[in-house]
Amino acid sequence: MKISVAGTGYVGLVTAVCLAERGNNVTCLDIDEEKISQMNKGIAPIFEPGLEELMKKNKDNITYTTDYTKAYSDARIIIIGVGTPEKKDGSANLNFVYEVARQIAQTVENDCVVIVKSTVPVGTNDKVEQIININKKNNVLIEVVSNPEFLSQGTAVNDTLNAARIVLGVESENAENVLKKMYNDFNIPFVVTDRRSAEMIKYAANDFLALKISYINEMANLCEIVGANIDDVATGMGMDPRIGNRFLNAGIGYGGSCFPKDTKALHWLASFNDYELKTVKAAIEVNENQKIKLIKKSRKYYDTFNGLNIAVLGLTFKPGTDDLRDAPSLVNIPLLIEDGAHVKAWDPVGAENFKKLFPDEIYYCDSIQDTLIDADICFIFTEWAEIKNFPLYKYKELMKNPLILDGRNCYSLTEAEEAGLVYESIGRRKVNS
Ligand code: UDX
């Protein structure tokens, strides 16, 4: 059974490689020739732990091509995993999805099932089916299925191979059977529903997690005001199995390719249908304010950043990825620069991407040590293990004025106290200030 995957970003490529790992023959399609030629050499176009190893291991079962006729004409399953970027009004741009649908319609020569894996607003699968039926060249049966992906960047391979559930939004028994056969060797429970509910599950799940983070961030802000400790509050809350202990880490807000985009898209969809999603709107607003929380804290110490040496540790939206999409660093660093700060930054994998956006405005260091030399303030934006393991006494030795503003609660308060640093984090008391 030939499977083709359109789009070789996080969703498309990881899905393709995991399907190959579970014994399927997969063809990966992308319009970007450079990406395809890299993948043909065994090089992954994205930084994702374990991905390149699996690409190499399964190289005989995966073909990479830019030729959509070759990919689609004899495929029995076609997976759409192309991007759905955010438009200016917050809605999702579906042009790439619809373009793939048109190409499929014009090329397939056999009955096949088209799986929409990209995150798409409710009703998109119906539209994809419509586009296919209008543009179809051959008298074949093309069924459309919603099968959203729940992988997280940095753990995408494991998330796909060992997912908590596989959601199948199907409108026929045949489509359900084809999908179940494709996932036969995954040993993951299925949630079988209609297409619109499957589309909705993806948004409802992502927006709930975003809401959970904004909730804990608001609790953290209140903890600071009333003198409580958010780490202990989160531990106490999370031990209640009805709440669960994950996604209760307070910080400077969520970023990445999904939560910011999916909260805005669902809010937009509700508004479009004359309904206001108040909880999601609140999560979005809390997150925007949370991102600049450290800058607000720093104002107590300095009226202006003009002429100050500022060390920034961590640029990506979370550890384990080189992705900068909606990362708090993208909001904070321009504010520091505009105010006249000299910014030095370190990130183990995200610096190269940051350099493309800010080539000359900041100085990039190869080590945490170099970043801290002579700094007046150190901002921590990402909880990389290298930062968590970096000894606190060294901040004192290296910085001009050891003021640390930690947006990811990387250090224990006792250790910061013992190291004699001025240390502020999120939802916890200030140390030595
Ligand atoms: C997310 C979802 O987890 C995944 O299921 C979906 O398919 C895509 O979006 P991802 O964006 O890769 O995955 O990362 P995730 O680990 O969920 O983190 C997102 C953001 O939330 C990060 O900026 C992270 O720092 C933040 N976060 C996460 C917190 O601030 N606190 C937490 O407790 C957890």
Q: 330 CB under 6 A from ligand 1?
A: no
Residue closest by Cα to atom 33 of ligand 1: 247
pLDDT of residue 433: 85
193 lines ligand 1 (CB under 6 A): no
Residue 254 CA, ligand 1 centroid: distance in Å: 7
The answer as to whether 185 is a domain residue is: yes
Residue 411 has what DSSP assignment? Answer: S
Q: Tell me how far apart the alpha carbons of residues 266 and 274 are, in angstroms, rounded to a whole number.
A: 12
Query: Which one of 273, 291, 309 terminates a domain?
Result: 291
Predicted pLDDT at 409: 98
Residue 378 sits in which domain range? 293-424
Domain count for the chain: 3
Residue 430 lies in a domain: no
Judge if 164 and 15 occupy the same domain.
Answer: yes
- Residues 6 or more apart in contact with residue 338 via CB below 8 angstroms: none
Cβ of 213 below 6 Å from ligand 1? yes
The verdict on the CB of residue 249 being under 6 Å from ligand 1 is yes
Report d(CA 39, CA 54) in Å as an integer: 12
> Closest residue (by CA) to atom 17 of ligand 1?
152
Q: What is the pLDDT of residues 68-120, one digit of tens each?
A: 999 999 999 999 999 999 899 988 899 999 999 999 999 999 999 999 999 99
Secondary element (H or E) of residue 275? none
Q: Whose CA is nearest to atom 32 of ligand 1?
A: 247
Q: Which of 264, 291, 318 is the last residue of a domain?
A: 291
Whether 432 is covered by a domain: the verdict is no
- Residues 49 and 162 grouped into a single domain: yes
Residue 129 domain-assigned? yes
Q: Which residue has the tokens 């901002």?
A: 379
Q: Would you state the structure tokens that stand for residue 108, as one six-digit string? A: 């397939």
- Region 257-266: what's the mean pLDDT? 94
50 CA from centroid of ligand 1 (Å):
19
416 and 362 in a single domain? The answer is yes
Q: State how far the alpha carbon of 224 is from the alpha carbons of 109, 245, 327, 429, in Å.
A: 63, 21, 24, 6
Residues 187, 94 share a domain = yes
Give the Å distances, CA to CA, from 209 to 184, 196, 249, 293, 325: 29, 20, 11, 20, 18
Looking at the structure, do residues 256 and 305 belong to the same domain, yes or no?
no
Asked whether 116 lines ligand 1 (CB < 6 A), one says: no
38-65: burial string, b at 16+ Cβ within 10 Å, e else: ebeeeebbbbbeebbebbeebeebbbbb
CB of 71 closer than 8 Å to CB of 106? no
Q: State the distance from the centre of ligand 1 to the C-alpha of 151, rounded, in angstroms.
A: 10
Average pLDDT over residues 164-182: 97
| Domain shared by 405 and 350, yes or no | yes
152 lines ligand 1 (CB under 6 A): yes
Residue 21 CA to residue 30 CA, distance in Å, equals 20
- For the question of residue 410 being annotated catalytic, the response is no
Instruction: Tokens for 28, please give them.
Output: 């990966």
In degrees, rounded to 5, the angle at the alpha carbon of residue 168 between the alpha carbons of residues 163 and 270 is 100
Statement to judge: residues 241 and 208 lie in one domain: yes
Rg (CA), the chain: 24
**Does residue 57 lie in a domain region?**
yes
Same domain membership, residue 305 and residue 274? no
- What CATH number has the domain bearing residue 330? 3.40.50.720
Give strand ranges (E) for 50-126.
62-65, 77-80, 112-116
Ligand 1 centroid distance, CA of 174 (Å): 35
Assess whether the C-beta atom of 208 lies below 6 angstroms from ligand 1: no
Q: Which residues contact 189 (CB under 8 A, 6 or more apart)?
A: 164, 165, 166
* Cα of 99 from ligand 1 centre, angstroms: 29
Contact assessment for residue 392 and residue 398, using Cβ atoms and an 8 Å cutoff:
no
Q: Counting atoms of ligand 1 from 1, which one is nearest the CA of 258?
A: 9
Q: For residue 424, is pLDDT > 90? A: yes
Structure confidence at residue 1 as a pLDDT band (50, 70, 90): confident
Q: Which atom of ligand 1 is nearest to the CA of 150?
A: 7
36, pLDDT greater than 90: yes
Q: Is the CB of 405 under 6 A from ligand 1?
A: no
Among the candidates 227, 259, 291, a domain finishes at 291
Length, in residues, of the chain: 433
ipTM of the prediction greater than 0.85, yes or no: yes
Same domain, residue pair 139 and 257: no
Position 431 in a domain: no
Are both 339 and 235 inside the same structural domain? no
pTM over 0.90: yes
- Report which ligand 1 atom has the smallest distance to the Cα of 210: 21
Q: Is 358 part of a structural domain of the chain? A: yes
Q: Is 317 touching ligand 1 by the criterion CB < 6 Å?
A: yes
Å from CA of 309 to ligand 1 middle: 31
Looking at the structure, do residues 415 and 365 belong to the same domain, yes or no? yes
Same-domain pairing of 45 and 162: yes
Q: What is the 3-state secondary structure (H, E, C) of 178-204?
A: HHHHHCHHHCCCEEEECHHHHHHHHHH
**From 258, 365, 378, 410, the catalytic residue:** 258
Ligand 1 centroid–CA 282 distance in Å is 18
Mean pLDDT on 376-392: 98
Alpha carbon nearest to ligand 1 atom 25, residue: 318
The domain that holds 233 is classified in CATH as 1.10.1040.10
Chain-wide mean pLDDT for the chain? 96
**318 pocket-lining for ligand 1 (C-beta < 6 Å):** yes
Measured by CA distance, the residue closest to atom 9 of ligand 1 is 258
Nearest CA to ligand 1 atom 20: 254
Whose CA is closest to 301, among 288, 310, 312? Answer: 310
87 located within any domain: yes
- How do residues 263-305 score in pLDDT, each as one tens digit? 999 999 999 999 999 999 999 999 999 999 999 999 999 999 9
Tokens for 6? 């359109």
